[in-house]
Amino acid sequence: MDSTDENQLASRLRLNLQQNGFDEHLDSSYGMLFSRDSSALPDVKKTYFIFTRLEECASGPDLQINVKAAKDYLASLSKSKGEHYVLYFVGLVKEVPQELADFLYRHANLELRREIVPVLIEPLTNRWFIAGESYVSLPYDSYKFLVQEFFDLVGSVLYPDFLALPRMEQILLDTCLAPDAERREIIKTKYKESRAVLFSICNLQAMRGEDIGPSFDVRHALAVNYLKQALIDEISPARGSSGFDIGYSAGSKEILYRQLQDQRIGWFKAGAISALAYCRDCKQIVEPVPVKQGVMASNQRVGCPHSEKHKRLLDLVFFMPDELEKFTGSLMKKHP
């Protein structure tokens, strides 16, 4: 992956923030400091965005020192003592050590204002790391909102390819290979600390080109498709507490879940993606073929290429053609 040109990145960030109502503090001691007199969080009246280079940031305590210095600097600018604000602190770091990456995901915040969300970028690899819920010590709903706002503000600028985000390859592999009945549990359990980032990625589907059109990108669309199934409970939450509301929500989720499966089969029929599965009758891994769908258009199916009479396939998985070796190996481990 090409490295990030820091000057171009700074220019794109500046333009995006200005288009979203942020004013730049040109006399700031930081490389770039922006503020906006609004926030959707209760009792939070201001939003700040700092973009700076961190020459030395090799550990969690180093990062905390840098973030605390930013907090103290903002306090010196504030006209009212104890002003509540949201701060998106984005630092360019030559290399993010694994210890620091793990710290961002799991280490509890120490003496920092709750609404500070640090983000680190490695210019040479284009990877970026965002602090997890436990770091900022926020309730999940508030933390999810901050991550979503951050994505909305600068997501398209910071990453040309969300598939390169840390842990993403393994998250998607586990999500794709999980049985339908277990897929929605993957994020709730194994990848709980990443759920807000994954949820925000799903909301950026149009930006990444999932919608059919000139910018359609099936690789990213397939990833979002699987993530939506894994996050189905968050994407389609119950709107009320009555039995009717809960029942209606459950029915809607099942419809959406099947529609996402149909979408994958549609791409498969068009030759855009590949598929593998294990046939219990053949006792081997096979490349499925489309079979006659049910009465309803939203009931598309694939089956064993050797016989339509064979029972339903196990571990059906869809992937990009260049991932054949990876998924073949994964299925062979499950069905030696």
- The closest of 232, 227, 222 to 257, measured between CA atoms, is 232
Q: Please give the pLDDT value at position 24.
A: 95
* pLDDT recorded at residue 248: 39
Q: DSSP H helical segments within 39-139, as ranges?
A: 60-77, 98-106, 133-136
Predicted confidence at residue 114, as pLDDT, reads 61
C-alpha span between 103 and 108 (Å, rounded): 8
Tell me what pLDDT residue 60 has.
86
Look up residue 194 and give its DSSP letter: G
Question: If DSSP codes are grouped into helix, strand and coil, which group holds residue 124?
Answer: coil
CA–CA separation, 111 and 206 (whole Å): 38
Q: Is 187 in a helix, a strand, or coil?
A: helix
pLDDT of 110 reads: 54
pLDDT at position 236: 64
Tens of pLDDT, residues 156-194: 787 767 888 888 999 999 999 998 878 889 988 999 889
Coil, helix or strand for 285?
strand
Residue 211 has a pLDDT of 58
Non-local CB neighbours of 320 within 8 Å, separated by 6+ positions = 218, 219, 222, 273, 274
pLDDT at 264: 93
Place of tokens 């930013």: 70
Closest CA to 13 of 148, 124, 128, 154: 154
Report the predicted TM-score, pTM, of the whole model to 2 decimal places.
Answer: 0.84
Q: In angstroms, rounded to a whole number, what is the distance separating the alpha carbons of residues 268 and 198?
A: 24
Q: Which residues of the chain have pLDDT under 50?
A: 1, 238-250
CA–CA distance, 228 with 257 (Å, rounded to integer): 8
- pLDDT given for residue 301 in this prediction: 83
Helix (H) or strand (E) holding 87: strand 85-93
User: Each residue of 69-125: pLDDT tens digit?
Assistant: 998 888 888 766 667 888 999 999 888 988 888 888 877 655 555 678 899 988 888
Q: Considering only CA atoms, which of 321, 284, 322, 323 is closest in space to residue 304? A: 284
pLDDT, residue 256, reads: 83
